[in-house]
Amino acid sequence: MGKTSKTSSPDYSKDLSGTVQINGVPVASTNNGVTNYNLTAAQNAAYDYAQEAFAKGLNEINTFLPETISNLYNQVEAYKNKGIQAINEVYEPMLKNLQTDVSKRFGNLDNSIFLDDLKDIENKRADTVNLLAQDVTAKQSELVDNELANRYNLLSFLNDYQSQVFNNALSASNLANNNAESYANYQNALANTINSQTKTSSSDSAITRENLLKALGYIALL
């Protein structure tokens, strides 16, 4: 009987290669099991900035620069001065009206009615000033809290941005790997099909040859 030949097919899974492109530009590629994620120059600059800004911001999260302190102080002073102005706009006219009224009625301000009314106005103004002082303290705390909140929000954004770049790279890399695996599976299946067809063809040829030899041997015996 004749020998059948066996066609060996290469294992394409040992040499995976796949690419993911956007507008014809490769963004991720896999070669020999190694996946690369490609950033544009602008994307790379943004990613580097996010990393550096995050590291710096995290290290200085509770540290206030002199200019920051000065800015907060100026805001507090502006809030306090506005409050004082509002108080004066209310109570100074009241004092003037009181002086005018008492002077018209008594000819002078040296009397108990004026002093009692003056004391009442000054007590009310003192209460208002005390409330303003509390508001100023609260405003100061609010400004500091807002400054910290803005810093934490920025750090959160920078961290989310880096995570998004990583997730994009992971998704693109998985797609590139899937493309590579699909291509390798296709090539292996194609090679196996060709090899199977070759075996079948060789087997059919061997049977035909064997039958032919038998037939020739039978004829020779006649």
Q: Given 3-state DSSP classes, what are the helix, strand and coil percentages for the chain, each rounded to the nearest 5?
A: 80, 10, 15
165: which residues sit within 8 A by CB, 6+ positions away? 39, 43, 47, 50
For 62-90, what is the mean pLDDT?
A: 93
Q: Which of 116-120, 148-152, 157-161, 183-187 has the lowest mean pLDDT?
A: 183-187
Whole-number mean pLDDT of the chain? 79
- For 177, the enclosing helix (H) or strand (E) is helix 112-221
Q: Are 72 and 144 in contact (CB under 8 A)?
A: yes
* Res 139: pLDDT: 94
Q: Which residues of 184-193 are buried (b: 16+ CB within 10 A; e: fewer)?
A: beebeeebee
For 107-136, what is the mean pLDDT?
A: 89
For 198-206, what is the mean pLDDT?
A: 57
* Res 20: pLDDT: 62
Q: Is 218 a residue whose pLDDT tops 60?
A: no
